[in-house]
Structure 1
Amino acid sequence: MFNQTSIQEFKSTLRGGLIEPQDQGYDDACKVYNAMISKHPRMIVYCADVADVIQSVNFARENEMLLSIRSGGHNAGGLGICDDGLVIDLSRMKYIQVNPQAKTAVVGAGCTWGDVDHATHAFGLATPSGIISTTGVGGLTLGGGIGHLTRKYGLSIDNLLSVDMVLADGSFITANDNQNQDLYWAVRGGGGNFGVVTAFTFKLHPIDMVYGGPMLYEMSEAEAVMKWYRDLIKYAPDELNGFFAFLTVPPGAPFPEHLHLKKMCGIVWAYTGPLEKAEEIFKPIRAFKTPALDFVGPLPQPALQSMFDAVYPTGLQWYWRADFVNELSDEAIAKHLPFGEGMPTMHSTMHLYPVNGAASRVNKKDTAWSYRDATWAMVIVGVDPDPANKEKITAWTKAYWEALHPYSAGGAYVNFMMDEGEERVKATYGENYKRLVTIKNKYDPDNLFRVNQNIKPTAEKMTV
C-alpha cells in the first residue's frame, strides 16, 4: 500500500492539484450536485491533462485503490465520488474546438453542456444534450444523453463520433468507427465502465433559435392533458419535442404571483423546425386547452437549455427512481395522478421524456443503449434543500415508483438511477449486457472502473 512518501512522489508527477483530507478546501472538494451524497475520498486529483489522468489511473491500480471519475458531478447516485479512494476530477480539462465547416466539436471531459452551448451557438450549431446546462458532458453522454433535441437528432451518443480514453492499464487510445470499434460501441450507453474518457468529438447540427418553453395546466386537468399528450407525441413530427411534468411553480419571476407554489402539470416544448412554421404547429396544441401559463415562444437554444438551472442549483437533496415506458395506459395515468397531487416539496417532480423519433430509428444493437423501442424515459425525483426532509422525499419517490413500475418496460436510463443493484443494471442493458461483459473482460478484467452502474467482468478478482 502507499505511504506519504509515495503520495508525494505521485503528487510531483502531476500538473494539476491533489487534495487530501487534511488540506484546506477538502470539504468543498467532496461536494457533488446531490447533497444527499456524503463521501470522503482519500485523495482527489484535479487533472490538468491526459498525462495526469494516466498517472492517476496507474497510481490507483498499482495501490489497489477504489477509483471514481468525476466530470460535472451531477450523477444521481453520486458515483463521481467514493469513500477512502481516489477521485479523478476532470473539471480542469475544459476546452472546446468547434469546426464549423465540418460541423464537429472536440470537447474536453471537464466541460459542462453550458460550455458546449456557448461555444457552438456562436456558429448557429448545437448537439443533443440534456435539460440542465450545468450537467457535465462526460456523465450525460456516456449514459446516453436524453434532452430537448432527442426526437429530432437522437441521443447524445447518436452524435458521438469519437472518444479519447485512458484504459485501466494506463494506455491511451481513440475509439471510433475505424479504431477500437468494440469500445466505441460500449461507451455509447455503457457509462464509465471501460476507462476514463478525456475528450469527446460530436457531430453538430444547424440549430440557432428554437420555439420552446413550458405550458402549464391546472392539476385538475392532468388526466386530460396526459391522455392528449400521450397520443400527440407518439405521432408528432421529429421537430417537435415535449416532455410532460408534474411540478410546483417556483415563487418568483418570471412566474406570475397567483401561480407561485401551485402544483400543476405541464409540457416543456422544444420545436426545432423553421420558426415561420412554429405558430402553425402550435395552433392545435393551444386549441386543445388554454394553458394557465404559456411561456412558449422563440428563444436561443442555450436559453432553453439553461432555463431550469436556477431552479435546481447544486447542493439540493435528491432521491431518484426511473423506468422506461412503452405505453401510458389509462390505468397508469390514474396511478400517476395522486402522486402528482401529493408532491412533497417544491422541487420534487416527475418527468416523461420522449425517446421516440430519431432516437428510436437506431437499432438497439448498434449501441449499448438498448431501449430504442421505448416511448418515454420516466424519472421521479424527490428534491429539497433541507436534509430534514430526506425521508419525506425518499418515501414519496419510492412509493410513486413502486406504483408505476408494473406499467414500465423493465429497465431504466442509467443516468437516472441510484445504486440499485446488479439486476437493475442487467435489466437496463437487456440483450446487450452479455456483449458489454465481454468488452469489460477485455479492457478492464479486474474491474478497476467499478464506481458506476457496474458491468462486472466474469473473472473479477478480489478487490480491497
Structure 2
Amino acid sequence: MSIGSDRPHAINWQALADALRGPLLRPGDADYENRRRVWNGVIDRHPAAIACCADAEDVCTAASFATRVRLPITVRGGGHNVAGLAVRDDALMLDLGDMRHVDVDPQARIARIEGGALWQDVDAATQPHGLATTGGFVSTTGVGGYTLGGGVGWLMRRCGLAVDNLLEAEVVLADGRSLVASEQRHADLFWGLRGGAGGLGVVTRFTSRLHPVGEVLAGVVFHPIEAAPWLLRTFRDVTPKAPDALTAMLVVTSVPPLPFLPASAHGQRAIALAYCWSGAPEQGARTVAPLAGYGQPLGRHEGVVPYAVWQRTFDPGAPAGHCYYWTTSQLDDLDDMLIEVLLRHAEAPPDPLCELHIHHLGGAVANAPSTATAFAHRDTPFFVNVIGHTAEAGRFPAVRDWTCSFRTALAPHARRGVQPNFAGETADIDTRAHGVVAQARLAELRARYDPLGLLAAWRGG
C-alpha cells in the first residue's frame, strides 16, 4: 500500500495532541518555526505537524497515529544531517530534542543514551568517569543520525566506529510497536541500524560501549597553502602505518582570526593538520612528529587536554543556520595526480568558509568484518569531504556548484560509494551509500519493518 492511500480526508490532530505527553505543534503555533528548522539553513521545509516527544511512549503514540492515517514520518534527533533528513514537507516530524538523558554505568563501561542526545551530552556524562566512545568531529552532532550512518570520529581508529560500539538499541517501529535490537534479539534489524542510514525505526535509546579515554594529545597546525603538496604526500605515507591511537586529518581552509595565528595571514587559504592521539602522550608526540614537526608553520595550538575539550574545538566552524552543501568521496590512494586535483579546486572556493577535509581510516575501523554492520566503507584507506559553506544565502548557488564540480573532478579517482553522514543529496543516501548486496538486504528489512514506507523520508525528497 502506498503512502497516502486510504488516508482520511481530515486528520484529527487534536486526538494526537491529547494522547501525547509533549506538545504537538502545527503551523502557526508558537515554537513551530523554531522546531522545524534544522542545522543546515538551506533546508526550508514545513511538516504537517511536529510531535515534541517527551519519552519513548510518546514516540509509540505518534508513530501509531501516523500509521493509521498513512502519514510519512521523519525523525529529528540533533537535526544536524546536511541533507535535512529530519524534516519533510507535509510529514509528521517526531522531535526527540527533549529526550537527551545519558545514564552511565562506569563499572560495566556502558552508556544508555536517549535518542535526542547530542555528543556533548554524552561527553558531559562519560568524561567524569574517564570514559568515552566514538562521537562526531563536532560535539553538536546528534547521536542518532550520526550512529545510524556509521559514525566516524576522533576515536574511531582505536575504538571503532559508533556502530561498532552499539550494544543494543530500543526501537519504535513505524506502526508504534517497540522492541530491543541487539546481536541476540532481532539481529537482522540490528545489522541494518548500524550504518543503514535510517528508515527502519525510531531509536529511542542507544546502549553503547565506553572506553578509557580521559586526556588526549591533540592539536592543530596551520601551514601556508604552498606546503600542501608536501603535507598531503606525507599524510599519504605516514597514516597507513600509524598506530591505532592516532586519528588525523588535513583541512584546506581560510586562516581564522585566532590569537596564535598572525594577523597578516587571516583570511588567506592555508592547510591545517588536526590530530588526536588517545594513547600515552610521549608516544603520541613521536608518532605525529613527521606531520606536526614539518617546516615553518603559520602557528600551532597543541597539548594534552581532556577529550571533551578537544571534541568541542571545531564547534565554532559549524554554526547552525549557515548554508551548507557537502559531498564525500572514498579513495584508495592519494596519488600525485589526485593531490593536484584536490588543491586546484580547494584553493579558490566561492566563499572563504568552504573547506576540504582529507581523512584516513584503517585501525579498528578496518579490522571489523566488512559484513558485520551495514556501514559500507571499512576498507577505504582515505576519504575526503568537500564542505560547501557560506553564511550568505545569496552565495549558496555558487557554493553548491563548486561542491558539485569538485565531486565531478574527483570521480575518476574515487570509488562509487558515499558515506551517508556526509552526503548533501538524499538520492545519494538511497542509491550510493551501500553496495548492491547490502542495498538489497536493507530494502528487504525496510519492507518488513516499515511496509508502508512511512520512515523512508528521502524517497519523497
TM-score where L is the length of structure 1 = 0.94
8 Å contact kept, 2:260–2:301: no
Q: 1:35 aligns with which of 30, 41, 46?
A: 41
Cα offset, 1:145, TM superposition? 0.4
In the other structure, the counterpart of 2:3 is: none
Distance 1:11 1:4 in 2: 15
In the other structure, the counterpart of 1:18 is: 24
8 Å contact kept, 1:164–1:174: yes
8 Å contact kept, 1:246–1:349: yes
Aligned-residue identity in percent: 33
Matches within 5 A, 1:292-441: 292-421=298-427, 425-430=430-435, 431-441=437-447
Q: CA RMSD for the aligned pairs? A: 1.7
8 Å contact kept, 1:269–1:296: no
Moved more, 60-69 or 71-80: 60-69
Distance 1:397 1:243 in 2: 19
Q: Specify whether residues 41 and 426 from structure 1 end up closer, same or farther in structure 2 by C-alpha distance, changes over 3 A only.
A: closer
8 Å contact kept, 1:240–1:271: yes
Unaligned runs of 5+ in 2: 1-6
Count of residue correspondences: 454
3-state secondary structure, aligned to 1:288: coil
Cα offset, 1:201, TM superposition? 0.5
Q: 2:77 aligns with which of 66, 71, 79?
A: 71
In the other structure, the counterpart of 2:456 is: 450
Distance 2:260 2:398 in 1: 29
Distance 2:212 2:11 in 1: 53
Cα offset, 1:390, TM superposition? 0.8
In the other structure, the counterpart of 1:131 is: 137
Q: Specify whether residues 290 and 236 from structure 1 end up closer, same or farther in structure 2 by C-alpha distance, changes over 3 A only.
A: farther
Is 2:188 the partner of 1:182?
yes
Is 2:205 the partner of 1:194?
no
**Which letter maps to 2:413?**
Y
Cα offset, 1:3, TM superposition? 7.3
Distance 2:426 2:180 in 1: 31
Deviations 1:344-402 (CA, angstroms, capped at 9, x unpaired): 22321111222211100111111001211101232112101110111111111111111
Moved more, 89-98 or 303-312: 303-312
Distance 2:264 2:187 in 1: 55
Moved more, 201-210 or 308-317: 308-317
3-state secondary structure, aligned to 2:264: helix
Q: Specify whether residues 409 and 140 from structure 1 end up closer, same or farther in structure 2 by C-alpha distance, changes over 3 A only.
A: same
Distance 1:106 1:28 in 2: 28
8 Å contact kept, 1:250–1:346: no
Q: 2:102 aligns with which of 77, 96, 107?
A: 96
8 Å contact kept, 1:147–1:353: no
Distance 2:310 2:8 in 1: 48
8 Å contact kept, 2:85–2:426: no
Deviations 1:203-232 (CA, angstroms, capped at 9, x unpaired): 000001001121121101111111111111
In the other structure, the counterpart of 2:286 is: 280
Q: Specify whether residues 286 and 310 from structure 1 end up closer, same or farther in structure 2 by C-alpha distance, changes over 3 A only.
A: closer
8 Å contact kept, 2:132–2:211: yes
8 Å contact kept, 1:249–1:346: no
**Which letter maps to 1:270?**
C
Is 2:82 the partner of 1:81?
no
3-state secondary structure, aligned to 1:435: helix
**Which letter maps to 1:371?**
H
Distance 2:235 2:410 in 1: 18
3-state secondary structure, aligned to 1:242: strand
Cα offset, 1:282, TM superposition? 3.3
In the other structure, the counterpart of 1:459 is: none
3-state secondary structure, aligned to 2:324: strand
**Which letter maps to 2:162?**
S
Cα offset, 1:294, TM superposition? 1.7
3-state secondary structure, aligned to 2:415: coil
**Which letter maps to 2:408?**
E
Distance 2:140 2:35 in 1: 17
In the other structure, the counterpart of 2:50 is: 44
Cα offset, 1:9, TM superposition? 1.3
Cα offset, 1:420, TM superposition? 4.8
Distance 2:380 2:110 in 1: 29
3-state secondary structure, aligned to 2:136: coil
Moved more, 295-304 or 108-117: 295-304
**Which letter maps to 1:111?**
A
Distance 1:364 1:278 in 2: 29
**Which letter maps to 1:300?**
P
**Which letter maps to 2:347?**
E
Distance 2:285 2:231 in 1: 20
Is 2:118 the partner of 1:140?
no
8 Å contact kept, 1:146–1:353: no
Distance 2:186 2:100 in 1: 25
